[in-house]
Amino acid sequence: MTEHAIVADSLLKRYGRVTALRDASFAVKKGTITGFIGRNGAGKTTTLKIVSTLLDADDGTCHVLGDDVRRNEYSIRGRLGFLPDSFELPSTLTLREYLGIFTELYPIARGDRKRRIDTTLQLTRTEELADRRLHALSRGEVQRVGLARALIHNPEVLILDEPAAGLDPHARVELKELLRLLRERGKTIFLSSHVLADLEEICDELVVIKKGTVIFSGDIAGFRRQMRSTTRWRLSAVSRAISLPSGLRGEVVESGPTSIEFEGDLTAAERARWIADLVARGIDVCEVTPLRSTLEQEFAKAVEEEEEMEAAS
């Protein structure tokens, strides 16, 4: 329990006749960035709200930093920062005033408030917005302001619901940098996102949810293993066609006049033998590149497999 910041066990949540979560179990390790992926309506926001103590599950348990979300919600709230998927800011206040209110709300000692606001502004790169009123902000600025608010009380756990939604590429890079920095500072970050390429870059762990059921919880390598993901290898020569030696486990998925793409789990020895064989036959090999499947492809595969299993049953 102590090495996990969040432990959810058999969560069930119904909205009327619709079951949003069923038997959802997962764990988020302390000091990691854990991505939460699933299609729209899969139950991500419901789960994040339960973890954030804003929603009660109908059944199952959820512990955040060792505290039960039902019994100790007020203790958890002070140690947790939550960025919802959509929110409004008071347009008549400046960012500094807005954060100032939250330093009073949490409550942060009077003498520390200014320093805390300055640190948060710096961390979220919102210094230039500090004395501007919170209206006519871009989507990226709104997200950064939301993050500043979620971070103002220096929480141990940060729950982010679609923080990258609507951000331009530059803002996404900044967000990723910020999340890495927060992880370095020991924060636990649990975030949902549809931008799987970004998650793949920054996440240590992954929770995959489909139709309210968690179908995977663990590290990304484990997800690839579960998906029996194989690496695709691209071999190219300068002028001659590349042939495939016998006895290799896998299949050719694409071949051109001087290149070949082969999908299969090749050991280092098998790769070396293949290349040596090609060179021995005078084939001028100039490129051997592993092309790993993206998280997006793996996720699509996972969803497809689940659907096939459902259809079969």
In the complex, the residues that contact another protein under the rule CB under 8 A are: 49, 52-56, 74, 77, 80, 82, 84, 86-90, 92-93, 97, 101-102, 104-107, 149, 153
Smallest separation, CB 227 to another protein (Å): 34
Integer Cα distance of 214 and 5 in angstroms: 18
- R_g of the chain, CA atoms, integer Å: 24
Based on CB atoms, which residue is closest to another protein, 94 or 259? 94
Smallest separation, CB 100 to another protein (Å): 8
- Burial per residue of 80-116, b for 16 or more beta-carbon CB atoms within 10 angstroms, e otherwise: bbbbbeeeebeeeeebbebbbebbeeeebeeeebeeb
Q: Are strands 232-237 and 259-263 parallel, antiparallel or unpaired?
A: antiparallel
Based on CB atoms, which residue is closest to another protein, 89 or 244? 89
> Tokens 């947790």 belong to which residue?
80
Integer Cα distance of 100 and 92 in angstroms: 14
Based on CB atoms, which residue is closest to another protein, 101 or 300? 101
- Residues 44, 58: contact at Cβ < 8 Å? no
Smallest separation, CB 87 to another protein (Å): 5
Based on CB atoms, which residue is closest to another protein, 97 or 261? 97
Smallest separation, CB 263 to another protein (Å): 46
Based on CB atoms, which residue is closest to another protein, 149 or 211? 149
Smallest separation, CB 15 to another protein (Å): 8
> Tokens 């320093």 belong to which residue?
115
